[in-house]
A and B are shown apart, each in its own frame.
Chain A
Amino acid sequence: MGHVRPTDEQFFRTMIRLRHVEKALSDLSASGQLRGSLHLCEGQEACPAGACAALEKEDYLTATYRGHGYVLAKGTSLDKLIAEVLGRSTGLCKGKGGKMHLFDQEFGVLGTNGIVGAGVGTACGAALASKLDGTNRVAMTVFGDGANNQGHLMECWNMAVLYKLPVIFFCENNLYSEMTPLSRSHGNINLSERARGFGLHTESVNGNDPHAVFEVVSKTADRARQGQGPTFIEAMTYRTTGHYQADSGTAYRTKEEVEDWRSRSPILLLKQRIGAIAEEIEAEELAIVQASVTKALSEPTPNPNQAMTEVFA
């Protein structure tokens, strides 16, 4: 399809915006203005930035409860996303979906998901619809290393290969399935090898390099559009926060390990590469995110009668 690969500066802008969003949400959670689980993706920003830049606006996406970065990178309005996370009537789902359930039909976003691995079926179904309708839309589904142990995922892999579905299985391998290392949850920690066992074409990529992620997703999306079927991409990355706001992230891994990854986080590497302009971009994006949060906080929560609407179409 030939998307132009974004520049370092463009990737930095996408990623630093996501970092500011997470910082703002984290602060709101700490001060009690935001309740419920908050799953941050600090350290993993290169995956959404690289992957979504390689997709068309109408391509389908499903992701995990840690998937807000993908939704933003796909093109969804920052204001609507923030408003949804804050439970406002102006949010993507008018405050009825929440942090784990972000949908945006305009950009093909068929949901982030609260159930590990469950959005994989949705993406495969969208890919089947694309095949039946002949629309040539590709579906990308994002999941973590932990989801690789879910039966639903393996069932869908099998059918994606069988029906040659135009779907990309994008696995963020951040080495920990929630709070458990792969060595204690996966009988075989070689995830690509497992996927190949299903007949999937596989690719491995440094998930902390947005350019590399862009290239591999572009290539596999082209492959899918040409009718060559699904691909499993294993993107190696690392989450430098806890699994969610109540997890310090250091009970099951050392502080040194986390600091080591933090010292070479993708945002830091890009920042060093682009030089002085980084500060300028960072300040601009901070202002945009702060304005969005301020705006959302001033917006109304849903009218009480909304609790009983839209149960049925």
Chain B
Amino acid sequence: MSLEMTYREALAKSIEEEMQKNPEVFIMGEDIGRYQGTFKVTRGFVEKFGSRSANYNYRILDTPITECGFTGIGIGAAMAGLRPIVEFMTMSFSILALDQIINHAAKVHYMTNGEVKCPIVFRGPGGAAKQLSAQHSHSMDGWYAHVPGLKVLCPATVADAYGMMKSAIADDNPVIFYENPGLYTVKGEIPDDINYTVPIGKAQILREGKDISLVGYSRMTQVHLAAAELLAKDGIDCEVVDVRSLLPLDTETIYNSVRKTHRAVVTYEDWRSGGFGAEIVSRIQEDCFDDLDAPVVRVGGLNVPMPYARNLELLCIPSEEDVVAAVHKIR
């Protein structure tokens, strides 16, 4: 049995079920309660977990617009034994909370040699939506994947949004959970099983092919699936590798694909220079050099602050056409 729903609904269902199962799980963030969240992931939560009339519902905790402050409070609650889910209205705003995420959440387990755990999920829309312009369109995934002690998840499919959220909440580490805003309305199927989980740190092959590996994550995996359709018409058989989890990174699944196809294109929405795709390319060339028939190519966002005008914005975000062009360059 499976259920059809959107990525957004899958996230909501996953979080709601985990909150019903475990009283230690709660969610906090800006306008997530009475207003139900700007991207409506917490629609209906206030009624399900308390009352609309209560001034404060501590399991659906509306916070002031103070990212550094409420992130610190979430981390403290996690260190004291709860399992908070912190929603950022957009991941771009998590920049205000970097000291708490990097200096505190990510380091406390190591600094205490494992005595203190910090089981917390930081989630929200990350990357470009439509014309949110320079300050609201950051792809922060690669920034976080640089930090030891964080896990960074970037689900691309509806089933993964559902199953990976459950795994993130159950994990004893701080988890960055990246939801590209372009994915919220994507439809797909999830198993009708409230205990369904997707293990953290396992990539997947979403389309098998023999000619070239398209390696990506989050919405870029959807771009790869569309590009693979276009390339099939040219007789090029693409394998689509969905990385799913940047940290920990499942290099084996990526390498096995590259060893089969001998060519790879790596696509990421973040700035091309120094983005996480550059790390994936670097690892492929270090560990699979003898298997490669061509240089591994990066397709990344343009190295500019996100412009506002729609035509300029579209130029900055990798598209199916960009991926097709990159494939033709090495095939």
Report which A residues bind B (CB closer than 8 A): 60, 62, 92-98, 101, 103, 105, 110-111, 114-115, 118, 120-133, 139, 151-152, 155-156, 158-159, 162-163, 306, 309-313
Contacts and interface: CB of A to CB of B under 8 A. Distances in A.
Contact of B78 (A62, A124, A125, A127): A125
A119 to B, nearest CB: 9
Contact of B72 (A105, A118, A163, A310): A118
B30 to A, nearest CB: 12
A310 B58 contact: no
A124 B56 contact: no
B75 interface: yes
Contact of B81 (A124, A129, A162): A129
B127 to A, nearest CB: 25
A121 B76 CA distance: 6
Contacts of A114: 103
B115 A93 contact: yes
Nearest to A158: B64
Interface stretch (B104-112, B178-186, B206-214): B104-112
Interface in B47-80: 56, 58-59, 61, 63-64, 66, 68-80
A312 B80 contact: no
B76 A122 contact: yes
B116 A124 contact: no
Contacts of B8: none
Interface residues of B, number: 46
A132 B58 contact: yes
B314 interface: no
B77 A129 contact: yes
Contacts of A92: 112, 115
A103 B71 contact: no
A155 B82 contact: no
B100 interface: yes
A97 B111 contact: yes
Nearest to A127: B76
B68 A152 contact: yes
Contact of A313 (B64, B81, B111, B173): B173
A118 B100 contact: yes
B235 interface: no
Contact of A120 (B63, B72, B78, B248): B72
B274 to A, nearest CB: 22
A118 B99 contact: yes
A313 B106 CA distance: 11
B224 interface: no
B68 A105 contact: no
B166 interface: no
Interface string B74-100: 111111111010000000000000011
A222 B4 CA distance: 53
